[in-house]
Amino acid sequence: MTTPSGRRTRASIDAELELLEAQLQTLILRESDIQKVIDHAQRMKDALTLERLSTEKQKAELEAQKEPINWLPVELLIHIFSAYAVLGYSTDNPHPSVTVSHVCRKWRDIVLDAPDLWRRIVLRGFQRRAPFRVYLERSMDSPLDIDYTTMPRISTSEERYQVMKLAEICNPHFRRVESLSIQVKNAIAFLPFILIIKDHVKMLPRLRHLNVAISAQDPSFHDISSLLDADRIALTNDTVFIPSSSNLRRLKIEKIPLFNFPASLIANLVSLEIVYSPRSTTNHYFVKMSSLCRFLTLTPRLEELVLANTVPYFDVYPSSEAPDVSARENKEEMQPVNLLHLKSIDWTFPFCGDIHRLLSLINAPGLERLDLWVNDPPRRLDIDYVRGYTYTSSSYSLRNTVTYPSLRDLSVQYAGEEASSLSLRNFSFPALEKLAFTNIDTAARRPGGYMPSLPVFPRLESIFRDPRLPNLTHLTLSHFEIWTEVGRVEAMLGYMPLLTSLSLDACPGTCKLLNALQEQVVPATNRVQSARRGAVRGVKLCPRLEALSFWGCQDVDFATLLAVVYSRNRSASGFAEETTHKDESATPNGATQAIVTRGLRDENNGGASHRTEPAQMGRKIKPLRKLRRDPPELPGAPSAENVAAATRSMATVMIHAARRPAQIIYLRMTDCKLISEEEAIQFKSLGVVDVIWSGSDQ
């Protein structure tokens, strides 16, 4: 209904509202019913989804069980990932932990839950700081190993800024650092870390390994003279060892002045490596022997010393020697540094005149290993300027002998003939067991094939003060020519009766040495004893030899090597031989007359024939002539009486060992063109347990 004005009445509006309300209630009820259906369907869908995910997980687990890597427990995987995080680093893979986390979801979960996998942080420059912060966050409270290297092309100001930012971000985490390696290009960039190292008690309490280096060829210290001032102050004061609780065990220093490291930091060092170029006309800093000795005085627990291309300027001389007046100028007398725990010395590129001068200032009676890379000085070189001495000062014959009573392993690389004959003349190694000589002169090496230009290996009498090596068990010669003179090889091998392993690398004339090793000895007995039992056939030289190794020995042939093995492994091959005997006769020195036989290859029947010659067994060894002035011996050196008693005992033992030699059980042939693989296999039938053959690498 409407009013006269055309408007609807209230009653009509209320009636229509009632209809709409009823319709709305109906729609709400229908919507509620439909929502209930939808909720039920959603619950069914969610249940199906969960069931599907569970089934997919079971399927994935079954599929994963096909791969052996997934058989390993999580704890073992963490150990594997930890090793990969350390060993898997390369320029193409600078973040191995991230690489592992991207393999699969399971590995990612394992890596993210293992803070130790994020402890090693390798930085090449510091432009991108976000990854560094991620490592710090994920490592939580684990110890840190930080390795920073400046990019090669960077300005000095930019390098300083990056190193300062690195130190700033690391500041809250330095207490967790166990290993720190910082390599900068310019010396001034290292200043922030010098301040941190000097405050090591507070900032670096857990530090165990420290590697600091300046990569510039000739770093300048003009802008940071405080680094040089620390050295000057240390040289004017007496250096005294101060006990400390420092955890630092390994330190490597390259081109940074020595005394910028607190004495309390280095007090417990076990390993020290220093890298300083020898003095030159352009050096801003070079190491003096007086500085090195004072620095070593602060490291009494040192066990390993590495001098990498480092030769100090000799401004001191040992108190036990009296140099001439010209050599004494501008030099001071110094007592040797006592390093009673030192076991190993590695030294590269000294001249032969440097070796005795340095080692005579280090008292290390417990030294067990010495590795020297000796170089010949250039012809046009002012030795007095770069080394502090001349060849005319302090002749070798006037120097005291340095004895290392505990040295077991000696390795020497030579780059010239002079070095081989002068480097070790004033040293004594009474307990030497392993000896290696290597010729590193590249001019003498001819790539590929035979090398006739190699130098002849010197006589032991010209190398050592005492050529007798009664305890030597391992000998290695590399890139030397073996003598062809009669008796030279026999004389050398006669000095080492306990030799068990012989290795030759690219040594022409090896056959001459093998001929000496196959010489056999048949001790003479009376005719009655010869008839009752067969004579025992022995070898003349090195009766305890068990291992032979050859690399690139082009003149080693199958027949010669077979004769050596056959002469020592007869009992294994089951071969019975007839021997010729002579009546026993006395010799002027009381030794027993014997018969020496040389094993020869019979080309017709593949066997071995022998020729006999008389030889002396048990020959008395005459002592070497004593020097006019007996040099003082270091504590722990064997006395003359002990040496004589040991020599007599050794002679008795070796007489019995020569009659029953050890068998060759190891044989290695690499790039020996005269021996084929088929021939090498035949040695196994003679009792050789390990036979290794490989052809040329070319």
Q: Interior CA angle at 144 toward 141 and 149, to 5°?
A: 150
Residue 636 pLDDT > 50: no
Rounded Cα gap, residues 291 and 237, in angstroms:
11
User: Is residue 697 situated within a structural domain?
Assistant: yes
Residues 481-536: tens digit of each pLDDT: 998 888 889 999 999 999 999 999 999 999 999 999 988 766 555 544 544 454 55
Lowest mean pLDDT across 149-158, 327-336, 583-592, 659-668: 583-592
Average pLDDT over residues 251-278: 92
User: What local confidence, expressed as pLDDT, does residue 56 receive?
Assistant: 93
Based on the fold, state whether residues 169 and 189 are members of the same structural domain.
Answer: yes
Which pLDDT does position 363 carry in this prediction?
95
Contact indicator for 680, 560 with CB cutoff of 8 Å: no
| Residue 57 vs residue 656, higher pLDDT | 57
573 vs 586: CA distance, rounded Å: 34
Q: DSSP string spanning 662-686? A: PP--EEEEES-TTS-HHHHHGGGGG
For residue range 154-181, list pLDDT tens digits in order. 998 999 999 999 999 999 999 999 999 9
* pTM of the predicted protein model: 0.78
Tell me which of 437 and 397 has the higher pLDDT. Answer: 437
**Residue 209 pLDDT:** 97
Position 300 in a domain: yes
* Residue 406 in this model has a pLDDT that exceeds 90: yes
The answer to whether residues 132 and 269 belong to one domain is no
Tell me: do 354 and 477 sit in the same domain.
no
Task: Specify the higher pLDDT residue, 552 or 87.
Answer: 552
From residue 371, how far is each of 86, 330, 393, 476 by CA, in Å?
A: 28, 31, 26, 13
Per-residue pLDDT tens over the stretch 340-391: 999 999 999 888 888 999 999 999 999 999 999 988 776 666 666 677 777 6
Q: Where are the beta strands (DSSP E) in 506-649?
A: 519-523, 538-539, 547-551, 592-601, 608-617
pLDDT at 545 over 90: yes
Dist. CA 258–CA 266, nearest whole Å = 11
Tokens of 436: 């290696």
pLDDT of residue 238: 60
CATH code at position 101: 1.20.1280
pLDDT of 612 higher than 50: no
Terminal CA-CA length for the chain? 115
Where on the phi/psi map is residue 202: left (φ > 0), alpha (ψ -120 to 50), or beta?
alpha
For residue 380 the two structure tokens come to 């046009």
Note whether residue 663 is domain-resident: yes
Q: Of the candidates 475, 691, 688, which has an alpha carbon nearest to the alpha carbon of residue 568?
A: 688
Of residues 227 and 99, more confidently modeled? 99
Looking at per-residue pLDDT, the higher value among 362 and 418 belongs to 362
Mean pLDDT over residues 210-231, rounded? 81
* pLDDT score at 575: 45
- The predicted-structure confidence for 197-207, as pLDDT tens digits, reads as follows 999 999 999 99
Q: Does the residue 343 lie in any domain?
A: yes
272/310 same-domain check: yes
Question: Residue 240: its pLDDT value, please?
Answer: 66
Q: Torsion over CA of 227, 228, 233 and 235, rounded to 10 degrees? A: 130
Pair (90, 102) in one structural domain: yes
Instruction: Using DSSP, state whether 548 is helix, strand or coil.
Output: strand
Provide the residue range defining the domain that includes 255.
218-320+330-390
- Same domain for 190 and 65: no
pLDDT at 618: 42
DSSP letters spanning 12-68? HHHHHHHHHHHHHHHHHHHHHHHHHHHHHHHHHHHHHHHHHHHHHHHHHHHHHTTSG
Query: In this structure, what are the phi and psi dihedrals at residue 474, rounded to the nearest 5 degrees?
Result: -130, 130
Please tell me whether residues 384 and 302 are part of one structural domain: yes
Q: How confident is the model at residue 614 (pLDDT cuts 50, 70, 90)?
A: very low
Two structure tokens written together for 358: 């340095």
Boundary (domain end) residue, out of 216, 238, 263: 216
197 lies in the same domain as 64: no
Mean pLDDT computed over 207-226: 86
Does 246 lie in the same domain as 340? yes
**639 in a domain, yes or no?**
no
Cβ–Cβ < 8 Å for 232, 260: no
As a whole number, mean pLDDT of residues 389-403 equals 66
Phi (first) and psi of residue 596, to 5 degrees: -105, 130
Q: Is the pLDDT of residue 305 over 90?
A: yes
Whether 483 and 581 share a structural domain: yes
Lowest mean pLDDT among 219-233, 416-430, 529-543: 529-543
- Is residue 407 domain-resident? no
Is residue 689 situated within a structural domain?
Answer: yes
Which domain-ending residue is among 50, 69, 88?
Answer: 69
Let me know if residue 610 belongs to a domain: yes
Q: Do residues 265 and 207 both lie within one domain?
A: no
H or E element at residue 475: strand 474-478
Name which of 324, 499, 355, 323 is nearest 425 in CA terms: 355
pLDDT (0 to 100) of residue 654 = 59
Last residue of a domain, one of 35, 53, 69: 69
Task: Read off the pLDDT of each residue in 105-118 and give the average, rounded to a whole number.
Answer: 90
Domain shared by 191 and 80, yes or no? no
Overall domain count for the chain: 5
